[in-house]
Amino acid sequence: MVRNHPASCLAFLNIEKKRRTANAVMTSESEDFGLSGPLHLNSVDWTNFNHRRSVAASLVQGAYILERDRQEKRQGSQALAPPWWGFFHFKLIRQLVDDADSCVFGAIYEYTPPSSHCNDTIDRSPRYVIAFRGTINKPDSFSRDFSLDIDIIRNGLHQTSRFEIAMKAVRNVVAIVGDSNVWLAGHSLGAAMAMLAGKTMVKTGNFLEAFLFNPPFLSAPIERINAGNVKHGLRFASSVITAGLVLATKGNSQTSQSEDPFAVLSRWTPCLFVNPADHLCSEYVGYFEHRKKMEEIGAGAIERLATQHSLRDLLMRVVRRGDEAAEPLHLIPSAYLTVNLTPSLDFKRAHGIQQWWRPDLLLKHSLYKYE
């Protein structure tokens, strides 16, 4: 177990107390690590999934606060971002900056534990973490962030310069240290960036551990329907229509598993974190559960075809008379899905990154593997 030394933790908290006093008027509580960060996690066990989740979420928050520091012109001792990685013995290696508006959209961290720390579980820790923030509703960054949100809806994120910058950074780090030493992490828009980066790396045989918080799922919010039979009926109808459109547009050709991109991608199992009260990501719950139900009723073949395709994109392809479109970003064959069942007071809390480092969450974990 890798522990923070009690003396160093006390000194860190004293520094944070002074920082909070100096910045109390200038910032919101959510940006201040000393007020809202996971201070309870002064002992990180890298074999503990909940610890890894909390650290990954904190590093994503660090990317958010880096941009907020830039917007508020907070530098040196006034900057609020450093504690979000420094508390866990990470060092900021590089800020990822968008070429369109010069905003910070991500960060590359290196894990640098003190030499005095016990390293019996060090092999489960990352060497580098590449974290991407989501949309910030502030004038300096909102316009660019919102345009990227639209790109996600139209499956065009892979064509943006921000993703090109992110992808180049991921490739460079993996080329130096290997895929087993690199984590991807992201929230909302940043989760979409991290998912697309992870999918892209799979094509070159690199499987990165990924922590995707509130990843957007582009679909009608069927999961919000309370009636179970109605939900299943809608999903069943959607699967049948989707599979039928696939056969109609592509033909009933059989592809070997070695050539099937979806089957190849199934070897990658990212960690997805969703909240049922967040309609932007809650469909992942039904997406994976529906597969299981379709297998149980003997309709697995239909679902294995339907789960690879978006009904919306197929309909658009028919309208455009066969024009090829990019593969849907949100569809993924395998995942370790974590659902936060803790009641959320509103959408803001259900979608926020802050929920994912809380120690008192009621969580449901499920592993889904595509066969």
The yes-or-no verdict on residue 220 having pLDDT over 50 is yes
**How many domains would you assign to the chain?**
1
Amino acid at 314: L
How many percent of the chain have pLDDT more than 90? 60
Distances (CA, A) of 233 to 64, 173, 245, 261, 324: 40, 46, 18, 29, 30
The yes-or-no verdict on residue 257 having pLDDT over 50 is no
Q: Which of 127-131, 214-218, 226-230 has the lowest mean pLDDT?
A: 226-230
Q: Which helix (DSSP H) or strand (DSSP E) does residue 44 occupy?
A: strand 43-44
CA distance 346 to 334: 29
What 8-state DSSP symbol labels residue 333?
S
The yes-or-no verdict on residue 275 having pLDDT over 80 is yes
Q: What does the pLDDT look like over 137-152, one tens digit per residue?
A: 998 899 999 999 999 9
Q: Is 225 contained in some domain?
A: no
pLDDT for position 25: 41
Task: Give 197 or 302, the one with higher predicted confidence.
Answer: 197
Task: Give 53 or 317, the one with higher predicted confidence.
Answer: 53
CA distance 2 to 292: 38
Alpha-carbon Rg for the chain in angstroms = 21
Residue 370 · residue 266 · CB < 8 Å: yes
Q: What is the pTM of this model?
A: 0.83
Q: Is 348 exposed, middle or buried (0-12, 13-18, 19+ CB in 10 A)?
A: exposed
Confidence class of residue 109 from pLDDT cuts 50, 70 and 90?
very high
Q: Is 173 contained in some domain?
A: yes
Q: Is 75 contained in some domain?
A: yes
CA 39 to chain centre: 22
Q: Is 250 contained in some domain?
A: no
Residue 60 · residue 132 · CB < 8 Å: yes
- What mean pLDDT is reported for the chain? 83
Confidence class of residue 370 from pLDDT cuts 50, 70 and 90?
confident
Q: Is 60 contained in some domain?
A: yes
pLDDT for position 15: 46
Which one, of 84, 34, 87, lies nearest residue 64 by Cα? Answer: 84
Sign of CA dihedral 47, 133, 365, 358: positive
Full residue range of the structural domain in which residue 148 is found = 2-213
23-37: average pLDDT:
76
Q: What does the pLDDT look like over 160-169, one tens digit per residue?
A: 999 999 999 9
Alpha helices in the chain (DSSP H): 6-23, 33-36, 49-72, 83-86, 139-153, 161-177, 189-202, 228-250, 261-265, 283-296, 300-306, 311-319, 347-351
Task: Give 121 or 49, the one with higher predicted confidence.
Answer: 49
Q: What does the pLDDT look like over 171-184, one tens digit per residue?
A: 999 999 999 999 99
Angle at 182 between CA 181 and CA 183, to 5 degrees: 130
Q: Is 143 contained in some domain?
A: yes
The yes-or-no verdict on residue 170 having pLDDT over 80 is yes
pLDDT for position 291: 76
Task: Give 268 or 261, the one with higher predicted confidence.
Answer: 268
Residue 94 · residue 108 · CB < 8 Å: yes
Q: Is 218 contained in some domain?
A: no
pLDDT for position 12: 47
CA distance 253 to 237: 23
Confidence class of residue 218 from pLDDT cuts 50, 70 and 90?
confident
Q: What does the pLDDT look like over 297-331, one tens digit per residue?
A: 766 666 666 666 665 665 555 554 444 556 788 88
DSSP 210-237: EEEES----S--GGG---HHHHHHHHHH
Q: Is 165 contained in some domain?
A: yes
Q: Which of 160-164, 249-253, 269-273 has the lowest mean pLDDT?
A: 249-253
